[in-house]
Amino acid sequence: MLRRRAGALLSCLAWAGALKTHVQEERKIKALYVTSSFPKDTMPIDVMVQHQLNTLGGPNVELRAVVFDNQPPWLETSDFRASFDMQRRGLKKLSEGRDGAPRVTVKAMDYADIEDPEFLAPFFNVNYKDASGSRLPQKSLRDIYGFRGERSQMLSNFFAMTSFMKECLRPEHKDVDLCVYFDPDMLLYQNSSNILELATTTFEDDPEYVVLSPPLGCFQTDWWQKDKVTGACMSRPAIVSSRHVIADRRRLKARLPIQVRPNDIGKNYWEVTMTESLDKLDRGQILCGQEFFVVHPPSRYQANQEAAKYFEGKTHMSLRDLLAQLTPHKRCSGETIEETCSPEVQVALGTHELVRRFEAGTFAANKATLYNQGCGCCADMVPSAQRVRAGEAFFQPRGSLEYDAGAFRVEANDAAFEWVVKCTQ
């Protein structure tokens, strides 16, 4: 269902007043940007934060930035020491604002909160009752999720995203208009309009939205441009994703604590809980991809026959495979080839090159080149080694995918909520 803009119901005078706030008076949008660094992340946190802040910023935007150093205590860092050390160096660069990195606030996450039943109380009101209908005490996140198998990752995701909500509502951010979270592996492309300006207009356009998602890559060819009168994009109700969240701080604060049924927490990720608990009209997605869109790197939820020709028989090109293809070979030559071309150096060089090509627009983003098998949506890059070698950021038509479950579905929220579990990996 496409949302009809509130402008159809408001007078021209009311719209003029709404637009004056952000256009005639040119009041800057104040936004809090948050991301979370995970020790196993592939791409350097400092490179990706700089890319995201560069894309989110603008003359009409006032940004403050917080990066969570997310280190769940149950992780054994010795299993991925090189990646862990790379992310530690990146966080240090960000906290000090050196070597060209933007200066941000880096905050360690206090996992003692997962033991505290009161941690959830300001954000989620879980309706626990016994067989007789009597109210049971609030449980802690550890009580709800535990540490077994994938539950530990669900716990980490839920804690990180609830910590984002907590950060958004801190008193020092009371003047903030928007709180935004982007996973550090998300690439953001700005065609013309700043996403925070688009989101502000969309929130003004529809007073029911609490959270928004930005457009996906295929929307740039199939969906609408901004309204020439109001400046608003078309939007639709959509699921919530922890890959990218744009929240109206005032509305989010008024909506909390969110009522949650026991079956909607403890067995799923944060975004499933949020999607099930928020009203359908509370959560939207901006559709004008001609203006801006987001893309996730390739994931294991793609099966690409073409990749098997180049990557030891694997049926998809992993992110590390892609970054290796993107590494400028002239930087990996000479007497210090082993030192220069260590896996982490290669990852850093490849990430810089991926960001450069993406920001330059050297790619094709449409239904044929973006695919996630888990959700049947155009969320993830499907890269081609041949195209990458020719100078593009990614691009492999989906015609070579081994798995294609019927016709491509543009409506991401047509898929069952189980896809969220897959798409967060």
Going by pLDDT thresholds of 50, 70 and 90, the confidence category of residue 411 is very low
* Side chain identity at residue 9, one-letter code: L
Do 194 and 87 share a domain, yes or no? yes
Asked if pLDDT for residue 224 goes beyond 80, the answer is no
According to the model, what pLDDT value does residue 329 have? 66
Mean pLDDT of 385-395: 85
Asked if pLDDT for residue 44 goes beyond 80, the answer is yes
Asked if pLDDT for residue 10 goes beyond 50, the answer is no
Asked if pLDDT for residue 53 goes beyond 90, the answer is yes
The count of domains in the chain is 2
d(CA 63, CA 31): 5
Q: Is residue 346 part of a domain?
A: yes
According to the model, what pLDDT value does residue 328 have? 73
Do 260 and 322 share a domain, yes or no? no
Do 312 and 265 share a domain, yes or no? no
Structure tokens, 108: 């360690």
Do 321 and 271 share a domain, yes or no? no
Do 289 and 324 share a domain, yes or no? no
Dihedrals phi, psi of 174, to nearest 5 degrees: -65, -20
Do 112 and 211 share a domain, yes or no? yes
Mean pLDDT of 404-420: 36
Q: Is residue 300 part of a domain?
A: no
Last residue of a domain, one of 273, 295, 317: 295
Instruction: Report the DSSP beta bridge partners of residue 36.
Output: 68
Pairing relation of β-strands 244-248 and 211-213?
antiparallel
Do 38 and 124 share a domain, yes or no? yes
Q: What angle do CA 96, 97, 99 make, to 5 degrees?
A: 110
- Lowest mean pLDDT, pick from 43-57, 76-90, 242-256, 386-400: 386-400
Instruction: Report the DSSP beta bridge partners of residue 61.
Output: 29, 58
Do 259 and 383 share a domain, yes or no? no
Going by pLDDT thresholds of 50, 70 and 90, the confidence category of residue 155 is very high
8 Å CB contact between 215 and 377: no
According to the model, what pLDDT value does residue 222 have? 67
Structure tokens, 356: 């450069």
8 Å CB contact between 262 and 384: no
CA atoms within 13 A on the CB side of 105: 10
Model confidence, pTM: 0.85
According to the model, what pLDDT value does residue 330 have? 58
* Side chain identity at residue 213, one-letter code: S
Q: The domain containing residue 71 runs over which residues?
A: 6-295
- Lowest mean pLDDT, pick from 63-67, 174-178, 321-325: 321-325
* Side chain identity at residue 278, one-letter code: L
Specify the higher pLDDT residue, 256 or 223: 256
Report the interhelical angle of 151-168 vs 270-277 (nearest 10°).
60
Q: What percent of the chain has pLDDT over 90?
A: 49
Q: Is residue 284 part of a domain?
A: yes
Name the 3-class secondary structure at 260: strand
Mean pLDDT of 165-188: 97
8 Å CB contact between 291 and 201: no
d(CA 403, CA 338): 38
What contacts 56, CB < 8 A, 6 or more positions away?
31, 33, 63, 180, 188, 194, 195, 196
According to the model, what pLDDT value does residue 315 have? 57
Closest CA to 176 of 26, 32, 22: 32
8 Å CB contact between 51 and 187: yes
d(CA 332, CA 338): 8
Torsion-angle region of residue 113: left (phi > 0), alpha (psi -120 to 50) or beta?
alpha
Going by pLDDT thresholds of 50, 70 and 90, the confidence category of residue 128 is confident
Specify the higher pLDDT residue, 18 or 198: 198
Last residue of a domain, one of 295, 321, 342: 295
Do 75 and 164 share a domain, yes or no? yes
Say which DSSP state 208 is in: T
Say which DSSP state 64 is in: E
Do 325 and 285 share a domain, yes or no? no
d(CA 351, CA 359): 12
Q: Is residue 54 part of a domain?
A: yes
Do 216 and 277 share a domain, yes or no? yes
According to the model, what pLDDT value does residue 321 have? 86
Average per-residue pLDDT for the chain: 81
pLDDT digits (tens, 9 = 90+) for 57-70: 999 999 999 999 99
Do 256 and 402 share a domain, yes or no? no
According to the model, what pLDDT value does residue 408 have? 35
Name the 3-class secondary structure at 212: strand
Q: Is residue 51 part of a domain?
A: yes
The CATH number linked to 21 is 3.90.550
According to the model, what pLDDT value does residue 384 have? 80
DSSP string, 177-199: SEEEEE-TT-EEEESSS-HHHHH
Structure tokens, 231: 């400046």
Asked if pLDDT for residue 204 goes beyond 60, the answer is yes
Report the interhelical angle of 195-205 vs 45-56 (nearest 10°).
60
Number of H helices, E strands in the chain: 15, 14
Torsion-angle region of residue 312: left (phi > 0), alpha (psi -120 to 50) or beta?
left
Asked if pLDDT for residue 422 goes beyond 70, the answer is no
Reported in sequence order, the residue ranges of 141-300 that DSSP labels E, i.e. its strands, are 178-182, 187-190, 211-213, 235-237, 244-248, 258-260, 283-286, 292-295
Q: What percent of the chain has pLDDT over 70?
A: 79
What contacts 424, CB < 8 A, 6 or more positions away?
157, 242, 243, 269, 271
Asked if pLDDT for residue 14 goes beyond 60, the answer is no
Q: Is residue 411 part of a domain?
A: yes
Asked if pLDDT for residue 424 goes beyond 60, the answer is no
Q: Is the link from the previous residue into 214 a cis peptide, with omega within 30 of 0?
A: no
d(CA 328, CA 335): 16
Start-to-end C-alpha separation, the chain? 28
Q: Is residue 287 part of a domain?
A: yes
Q: Is residue 342 part of a domain?
A: yes
Closest CA to 46 of 98, 110, 107: 98
Last residue of a domain, one of 277, 295, 313: 295
